[in-house]
Amino acid sequence: MDAVIDNLPLYWEGFWATLRLTLVSAAFALLLGTVLGAFRVSPVPTLRALGTVYVELLRNTPLTLVFFFFVFVAPQIDIKLPFFVSALVALSLYTAAFVCEAVRSGVNSVGVGQAEAARAIGLTFPQTMGQIVLPQAFRTVVPPLINIFIALTKNSSIAAGFFVTELVAVGIRLANRNAADVLMVLGGVAVFYLAITIPAGILAGALERRVAFAR
């Protein structure tokens, strides 16, 4: 137990790095994923194809491989990024594929009749989108988005293998230093992760139930 309490500052440092990784990549992934999602529901075939190819490639690639690219391969073609930035880019690009899918299925979940009725009573396209389609799509998208960001929190641990000192990296360092208390030390790391993932999971579940009633 002492090993955990004595090293609390180090834990906080790791936790802060994990939080920063998660929040910043979440923002970028949300942005890129929404754009790609818009591509995938757009009437322009080239853009749709681009979105589809991106999603299929990134979904079927292990995140570790994406990290591997930015840390080991990219420097060979003169893209040299600091390790923390590499981690941010890898996490954002990977997560964007999942955001894109959530956005797409959200928009597609809105009944065709809704938009048709909106157009039939004379609403313009911005009105149809802003007042009818997007508010309904948003409800469907939020629970899966929260789940995606839970996954992102856990995925950020892979950065530990690529020279970023976040929670798991702190755990490994402390575990090597306190061989007798390995379980305690790693248990401390686990508590920090659960502090994010379990409340977020409960929130997603609660929202999902509310949406289910609203339909």
Partner 1 sequence: MSAVLFDTPGPHTRRRTAIWSLVAGVVLAIVVVLAAVRLAQRGIFDADRWDIFTESTESWEALLRRGLGATLRAAGVAAVISLTAGALLAVARMSSSAWMRVPATIGIELFRGLPVLLLILFTALGFGSSIFIAVVIGLSLYNTAVIAEILRAGIQSLPGGQREAALAIGLSPGQTLRMILLPQAVRRMLPSLVSQLVVLLKDTSLGFVVGYAELLRTSRELRDFFGSRYIFSIFVVTAAIYIGVNFALSRFATYLEKHGTTRAAGGPAKQVPMDSRNA
Work out whether 129 is an interface residue with partner 1 (CB under 8 A).
Answer: yes
Query: For partner 1, which stretch binds (CB under 8 A), given 6-14, 19-27, 82-90, 185-193?
Result: 185-193
- Residues in contact with partner 1, shown as a per-residue x/- string from 53 to 82 under the rule CB under 8 A: ---xx-xxxxxxx--xx--xx--xxx----
Work out whether 45 is an interface residue with partner 1 (CB under 8 A).
Answer: yes
CA dist 109 to 88, 99, 115, Å? 31, 15, 12
- Per CB under 8 A, the list member of 4, 89, 160, 170 interacting with partner 1 is 160
Span 4-43, contacts to partner 1 by CB under 8 A: 41-43
**CA-closest candidate to residue 70, choices 84, 59, 60:** 84
Span 195-214, contacts to partner 1 by CB under 8 A: 197-198, 201
- Per CB under 8 A, the list member of 1, 80, 85, 111 interacting with partner 1 is 111
Closest distance between partner 1 and the C-beta of residue 169, in Å? 10
Closest distance between partner 1 and the C-beta of residue 106, in Å? 8
Of 108 and 131, the one with the shorter C-beta distance to partner 1 is: 108
Kindly determine how many residues on this chain lie close enough to bind partner 1 according to the rule CB under 8 A: 71
Work out whether 144 is an interface residue with partner 1 (CB under 8 A).
Answer: yes
DSSP letter string over 147-215? HHHHHHHHHGGGGGGGT--SHHHHHHHHHHH-GGGHHHHHHHHHHHHHHHHHHHHHHHHHHHHHHHHH-
SS3 43: coil
Q: What are phi and psi of 81, to 5 degrees?
A: -120, 150
Q: How far is CA 97 from the centre of its chain?
A: 9
CA dist 87 to 118, 154, 163, Å? 44, 13, 9
